[in-house]
Amino acid sequence: MLATAVTSYVAVRRAAGFGFRSPALALQSFARFSAARGESHIRAPIALEWAGLARSMSQRARRLGDVIRLARYLRAEDIRHEVPPPVFGSEKRSRPAPYILAPHQIRQLILAASRSGYRTLRRDTYSTFFALLACTGLRVSEAIRLRLDDLTPDGLVIRCSKFRKSRLVPLHDTARAGLERYLQRRLAYAPAEPQLFVSLRRKPLLIEDVEVAFRTAARAAGLPATLRARPTPHSLRHTFAVRALQACPDGRGAITRHMLALSTYLGHAKVADTYWYLEAVPELMTDIADRCERFVMGGRR
């Protein structure tokens, strides 16, 4: 009975637009766990026992949170379901500090990628791939999934990204020229593959391959890790967001419009995800302090 309820609940969440893959697998596991103990309804002690099997406290909190939301949903029609107490604390994990690259470091990284390994398409693939991330702020997964027909006269079409949203990302003339140079070699190498970026196997890139290529280029470029963060492919997206925020004009109305536009451009589900950079990056915190001081002292708003 509980397994059937889980199936119905997962269908409702997915119909509402959620991918819901990991929570669905977890709840199916919980349903089997409960059935093995002869339970057809959610029981708080069983839920705590099941969630407690996870290795870390954050994993336990996340598993229990999935059951709590399921219990609230099911209890609306059947009060025999019990809502467990959130004894493992908050599900939210603290976000790691972003690694922000200086302009010269981005140039060094792309140059290193263009010289990495043998003189094959791989050099062009990863130097172009990293350059595209740096100048558009795309997620790595979005860039990997780009198809040839996603490159349009108006820009790049990002289809069903992280939150099942599609959007259009405009391209600067220099970025378009770089992609077209890459495509001249790439189309001759793998003409039948519809993905924009391909590996030497003539297949779409794998995220593991991108991470290996980035680490190799980062070492060659001498990008240092810090106590707060280390460089990853996603650092290029973080850097784009921070530079865009630093270009924000003064004035409350202008800032609001700028933040909303940037949030939409980056494909954030909530504008709060964009505002997060303001508190996560020391340079932006310094900018905020400077502007506040000017405002207090009677300078520009």
Residues in Cβ contact with 131 at an 8 Å cutoff, skipping those fewer than 6 apart: 110, 175, 178
Query: What φ, ψ does residue 147 adopt, rounded to 5°?
Result: -110, 165
Query: What are the start-end ranges of the H helices in the chain?
Result: 2-15, 21-36, 44-51, 57-75, 103-114, 121-136, 140-144, 173-189, 207-221, 235-246, 252-266, 271-280, 282-296
107, 245: one domain: yes
Number of domains observed in the structure of the chain: 2
What confidence score (pLDDT) does residue 268 get?
A: 80
* Cβ neighbours around 76 below 10 Å, total: 9
Q: Let me know if residue 29 belongs to a domain.
A: yes
Q: Are residues 121 and 220 in the same domain?
A: yes
Asked if residue 58 and residue 7 are part of one domain, the reply reads: yes
Confirm whether 181 is domain-assigned. yes
What is the domain-level CATH number for residue 297? Answer: 1.10.443.10
Please list the residues that pair with 156 across neighbouring strands: 151, 169
52 and 195 housed in the same domain: no
Say whether both 202 and 101 belong to one domain: yes
In the chain, which residues have pLDDT < 50?
A: 301
Residue 246: per-residue pLDDT:
80
Among this protein's residues, is 268 annotated catalytic? yes
In the residue annotation, 294 being an active-site residue is answered as: no
Which candidate, 60, 92, 112, 146, places its Cα nearest to that of 222? 112
Residue whose C-alpha is closest to residue 69's, from 110, 24, 100: 24
Evaluate whether residue 129 is within a structural domain.
Answer: yes
Which residue is catalytic, options 62, 139, 145, 238? 139
Looking at the fold, whether 301 and 230 belong to one and the same domain comes out as yes
How far apart CA 22 and CA 15 sit, in angstroms, is 16
Same domain as 108, residue 40: no
Quick check: is 234 catalytic? Answer: yes
Domain membership of residue 10 (yes or no) is yes
Q: Is residue 83 part of a domain?
A: no
pLDDT tens for 167-192 read: 899 999 999 999 999 999 999 999 99
**In which domain, by residue range, is 238 found?**
96-301
Q: Which of 99, 126, 182, 277 is catalytic?
A: 277
**Segment (H or E) for 168:** strand 167-169
Structure confidence at residue 301 (pLDDT): 47
Does residue 27 lie within any of the structural domains? yes
Which of 63, 145, 237, 238 is catalytic? The answer is 237
Q: Give me the half-sphere count of Cα atoms (radius 13 Å) on the Cβ side of residue 13.
A: 18
Which position among 21, 80, 162, 301 bears the catalytic label?
162
Does some domain include residue 149? Answer: yes
234, 243, 258, 291: the catalytic one is 234
Residue 88 placed within a domain: no
